Amino acid sequence: MSEKPKIAVYTCYCGGNISHTVKCEQVAKLLAEQPDVVVSRTNMSLCSDAGQSQIEEDIRELGVNRVVIGACAPSLHEQTFRKTVIRAGLNPYLYHHIGLREQDSWVHTCDADGATCKAVRLMAAGVAKARLLDPLEPIQLEAEKRALVIGGGVAGLRAALDIADQGLKVVLVEKTPFLGGRMAQLDTVFPTGEEAHILLADLIDKVVNHDKITIFTQTEVTKVSGYVGNYGIQLTQHSRGVSAENAKALQDACQQMVADEFNYGLTERKVIYQPYHGCYPPLPAVDWEHYNGEPININGKSEILKDEIQQFELSAGAVVVATGFDPYVPREGEYGYSELPQVVTLPQLIRHMALNPGAKSLEWQGHKVRDIVLIHCVGSREIEGIDEPQEDGQVNNYCSRVCCTATLHMIEELRENFPKLNIYDLYQDIRTYGRGHEDYYINALDNGTRFVRYHGEEKPKVFAAPKGDTHPVLVHVTDALTYNQELEIPVDLVVLATGMQPRQIDDLVKMLKVSRGNDRFLLEVHPKLRPVETAVNGVILAGTAQGPMNIQESISAASAAAAKVISLLGSGQVELQPFVAAVDPEKCNGTGACVEACEYEDAIALETFVEDGKEVTRAVVTPANCTGCGACVAVCPNRAIDVQGWTLAQYEAMVDAIAMDIVDLVEAG
């Protein structure tokens, strides 16, 4: 920008969050004395309408062409102030934001003088950078008006439907042969008590019959390239192995049986199967993972099933990751699991109840259940150094959130179906946070459920009872509700309320270049401001791929993901921030150091040009693939690369300003 800088500086009180520590008026006074600063003001709440109006007025009336604001974190109001300067006719990238609240006042509450000096240095650094700012333009990309949704559970189905309802094309990919995900394994849902399969069937029917949605089952994403607006996707699909004509005959003749994972191993099924009545697609499928390759005899002929794998290529403007979760599976011996046949998980009990509708009494393995214990937080809220870690060395220290209500929901069903059952609930904390969920807890109390509270470091212990005892299992627990009284509870069945675990999708995570959080679920950019977006533009999260959620929350998250996709692709064009690497061709001599340092596919490459009759090699940046990380800047021997908006010259000016003594800053004015 050739015109002389005219800088406006604003120091916000942030409603007292900054001014209770930083002497804002003193900061403003010192900054007013800096070269090129034409106005320096304070404001109680700069993000308010009045505060924004003041900025607009100064730009118009004083000819301000640079703006420096010291306020709360840029992540909160950077977009607010960019829109403010745009309304006043200024390029939005001629404004620089300094987080005085998080970087200064909140961390120096006991040192007002020190915090004030730091604020002056930070603001002076902002002024130094502002002098060197250039107007930038967002990167405009053509966008494919098609979204890829990975996962055919309730979140993926909802996201696909919402996107398609707005006129965008959707490709829905499901790894298993059937749609429905974990919701298909439920009997009823809380807090309404509606039948899960009816709700799910209605949603699947809408998705299947939508003319904008294409569905691929038994399909995985095997390659991803490109960038937001133009992702190249490779899909690999396994065949169903049967046709409509021979499916019934092959299924009837099939003799190979395997554990039925839909029923959590409680039953067996054939390798040619349908998981439940009314599933979609209705055509049976071959379980290729377990099929032993032996021929199946039909009408005197033997037939060997073959998996005819196909690959497809497609383009998509955005990708929604709705890959779901896996229920925690207790380790062998954990609370007696897999050692004592009377110890089961809550998902197993849910399927057991669904498989035995209308039963007059609760029975387990042919024995009547009179007394039952349900134990919360199995595989959740684990304590490092006490609980055994997972395969990756971490413990599940997070709360799975839905287990408490799911357990109490089961207690209500048990009480309704088997009123004579004695029920014990062993918990750390009851977290029934959803609307209507607390009613389950109150009803359980009113209906005689005995609640016992244990501490995480003193978990209940489950033992086989002595031979000839009245019950097969004994549960030892220290009850914090009765002043740490030691209890021994004889029961017929122990139910472990297992939590949610992130699904093993490492290959997909690597292909999409998304990150996991400390809990190993997929990580959003910001839980409040960008709750369903990943750090990769165009890759959006939906449902329990992101963290533990109940069905209502998964659907809400899916709709939020759909809204983000629609806002990205609806216009057919994607706008990206301009903070990407830029090469000065006059300085670049094609060493290739930048290409070696770059970790992002196709972000920067060497290309050959003809200049003055000679071939020359230069680095060329593809802005859509560049994240502006600066790795290329650091290794370039000729300083031929800069990140727009964060150039080396700007950094150096900021460092010089921060390093100056306060006295020097005053004298420099």
**651 in a domain, yes or no?**
no
One-letter amino acid of 185: Q
- Residue 141 in any domain: the answer is no
| Paired sense of beta strands 139-142 and 367-368, if any | unpaired
CATH code of the domain covering residue 77: 3.40.50
364 shares its domain with 348 = yes
pLDDT value of position 529:
81
CB distance 425 to 376 below 8 Å: yes
Give the full edge-to-edge strand order of the sheet including 310-316.
219-227, 230-237, 310-316
Any domain includes 410: yes
So what's the pLDDT on residue 498? Answer: 97
Domain count across the chain: 5
Query: What pLDDT score was predicted for residue 663?
Result: 59
**Which of 42, 8, 6 has the alpha carbon at shortest distance from 27?**
42
- Residues 251, 192 share a domain: no
Sheet holding 37-43, edge to edge: 37-43, 7-12, 66-71, 95-99
Q: Are residues 100 and 217 in the same domain?
A: no
* C-alpha–C-alpha distance, residues 443 and 190, integer Å: 14
Amino acid type, 554:
S
pTM reported for the whole predicted model = 0.85
* Cα–Cα distance measured from residue 668 to residue 576, given in angstroms and rounded to the nearest whole number: 38
Q: Residue 614's domain is classified under what CATH number?
A: 3.30.70.20
Look at residues 101, 136, 171 and tell me which one is the last residue of a structural domain.
136
Same domain flag for 365 and 486? yes
Please tell me the predicted confidence (pLDDT) of residue 2: 63
The tally of CA atoms less than 13 A away on the side-chain side of residue 555 is: 9
Residue that the structure tokens 């003055």 belong to: 612
φ, ψ (nearest 5 deg) of residue 152 = -105, 25
- Predicted pLDDT at 669: 44
Rounded CA gap, 273 and 259, in Å? 12
8 Å CB contact between 628 and 581: yes
**Residue 666 domain-assigned?**
no
pLDDT means per 10 residues in the chain (669 residues)?
87 96 95 95 96 97 97 92 96 97 96 94 96 94 95 98 98 98 96 94 98 98 93 97 93 95 96 95 96 90 93 97 97 96 98 94 94 97 91 92 97 96 97 94 96 95 94 97 95 97 95 94 91 94 97 97 96 91 93 93 89 90 90 95 96 94 56
**CA proximity to 374, closest of 450, 447, 434, 469:** 450
654 located within any domain = no
Q: Do 293 and 412 reside in the same domain of the chain?
A: no
CATH number for the domain that contains residue 560? 3.50.50.60
Whether 655 is in a domain gets the answer: no
Shared domain check, 333 and 228: no
Question: Structural domain of residue 625, as residue ranges?
Answer: 581-644
**Structure tokens given for 376:** 């919360």
- Contact (Cβ atoms closer than 8 angstroms) between residue 27 and residue 123: yes
